[in-house]
Every structure is written in C-alpha cells, then in structure tokens.
C-alpha cells in the first residue's frame, strides 16, 4: 500500500518510498532515474528462455548449465537466462532428480519455481529454445508474433533431436538429460550467442 510519504508514478508501478515532505519531487526523480536505468539495462541484455513441459526438470537444468557456461566463456557479459513450461506446474520447485544432478555439477537451482509460457513472457526474450519438437511447434502456432525466435535446442547444432523428459525416472535419466543439454549448449554456444545478440541488437523483442 502506498503511504502518505510515498510517491507513485501512474502507469509504471514505481513508488518512491518515504519521500521527504520538503523534497518529495527531487527524491522521487532520483529514485525514478535509478529505476529506469535498471529497467533499461534488463531490456538491453541478450535474453534466452529455455522451455520444457512442466518447467521442473529439463529447462531449469538448462538455465543452470548455460549460466555456468556463460560465467566461464563470457564473464563480463550481462545475460538474462530463464525458463518456463508449456504446461508449467506453477510455483513448483525443480524436481529432486534435477536438483541432485545440478548439485553434483556445482550448480544450485534450488531457488527455481515453475511457471507457464505466455505471450508477454515470450516477447521479452530474444531466443527461445525448447526440448521437444512438439513444444516448438505448439508455441509457434499459439504465438506467431515470436515464432521466428523459437527453436529446438538441438537445432543450434544443426540437428533435430529431442531431449527425453526424465520426470518420474531414475537418477541416471536425469543425468542423461543434463549431459545432452550441456552438449548442445557447448557445441551450439556460438550459434546461441549470435542468434540472441542479433535479435537483441535489431530490437525485435518488446
């Protein structure tokens, strides 16, 4: 709730908290400037979205693995890397198998919470990579305005191979899925970087 000492800018969701009564406008403008700089920085970052079905197994692992690759190959770069599901299990954490496999690889995805794809979400990303052909095709049909940004992950290495869903399977199935994801991300790294940055520089996303 906005208090008497707060100032809100209509239409932005931005609120200057506890603005001094003797300088409300100055304080508000300073905070607004800082807010706008942060928002602009996020919009300018190349953005990659990984998509699977429930958003609790494969795509959270892809985020963790790709972030680790970026830290190693491009430590000075600013990237937005997130995930979602075509039938996201809203609010659910990553599957135990995914958590364990990532932990074994020094990657923490314990803060992950599942969500579903939406038009607004997809429009915020330069490159959208799916685990299965059906996910790619269904999203291209439902969201034609971003269809040119949606690809099967393996297409980054000129293949059309799907990554099986390990949900409900044994630990080794999660390991296999993670290994396949990592291989495609490493082998397709240059293509991913090129596609995401090209789309970002062209200003194609919202």
Helix (H) or strand (E) holding 7: strand 7-9
Write down the catalytic residue from 58, 80, 149, 195: 58
Active site residue 58: yes
Count how many Cα atoms sit within 13 Å of the Cα of residue 22 in the half-sphere of its side chain: 0
* CA atoms of 70 and 65, how far apart (whole Å): 9
CATH superfamily label, 46-201: Response regulator (3.40.50.2300)
Q: Would you call 178 helix, strand, or coil by DSSP?
A: helix
Note the pLDDT of residue 59.
98
Place of tokens 């400037």: 33
Active site residue 165: yes
All structural domains of the chain with their residue ranges? 7-42, 46-201
Q: List the pLDDT tens digit at each of the 206 positions of the chain.
A: 444 455 454 455 555 555 554 555 555 445 544 434 444 444 568 999 999 999 999 999 999 999 999 999 988 889 999 999 999 999 999 999 999 999 999 999 999 999 999 999 999 999 999 999 999 999 999 999 999 999 999 999 999 999 999 999 999 999 999 999 999 999 999 999 999 998 665 555 55
What's this model's pTM, rounded to 2 decimal places?
0.79
Count how many Cα atoms sit within 13 Å of the Cα of residue 185 in the half-sphere of its side chain: 28
Q: How would you class 195 by CB atoms within 10 Å of its CB: exposed for 0-12, middle for 13-18, buried for 19 or more?
A: buried
Write down the catalytic residue from 43, 115, 164, 165: 165
List the structure tokens of 152.
Answer: 């099967």
**Beta strands at 47-52 and 80-85: parallel, antiparallel or unpaired:** parallel
């Amino acid at each position: 709730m906005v208090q008497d000492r707060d100032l809100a800018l209509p239409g932005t969701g931005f609120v200057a908290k506890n603005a001094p009564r003797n300088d409300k406008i100055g304080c508000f403008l300073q905070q607004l400037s800082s807010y706008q700089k942060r928002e602009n920085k996020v919009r300018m970052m190349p953005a990659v979205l990984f998509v699977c079905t429930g958003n609790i197994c494969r795509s959270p692992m892809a985020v963790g693995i790709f972030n680790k690759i970026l830290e190693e190959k491009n430590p000075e770069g600013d990237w937005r890397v997130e995930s979602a599901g075509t039938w996201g299990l809203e609010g659910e954490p990553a599957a135990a198998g995914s958590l364990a496999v990532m932990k074994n690889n020094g990657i923490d995805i314990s803060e992950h919470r599942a969500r579903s794809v939406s038009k607004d979400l997809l429009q915020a990303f330069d490159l959208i990579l799916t685990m299965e052909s059906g996910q790619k095709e269904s999203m291209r049909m439902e969201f034609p305005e971003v269809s040119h940004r949606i690809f099967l992950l393996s297409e980054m290495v000129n293949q059309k191979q799907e990554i099986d869903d390990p949900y409900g399977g044994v630990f080794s199935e999660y390991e296999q899925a993670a290994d396949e994801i990592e291989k495609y991300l490493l082998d397709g790294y240059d293509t991913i970087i090129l596609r995401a940055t090209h789309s970002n520089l062209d200003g194609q996303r919202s």
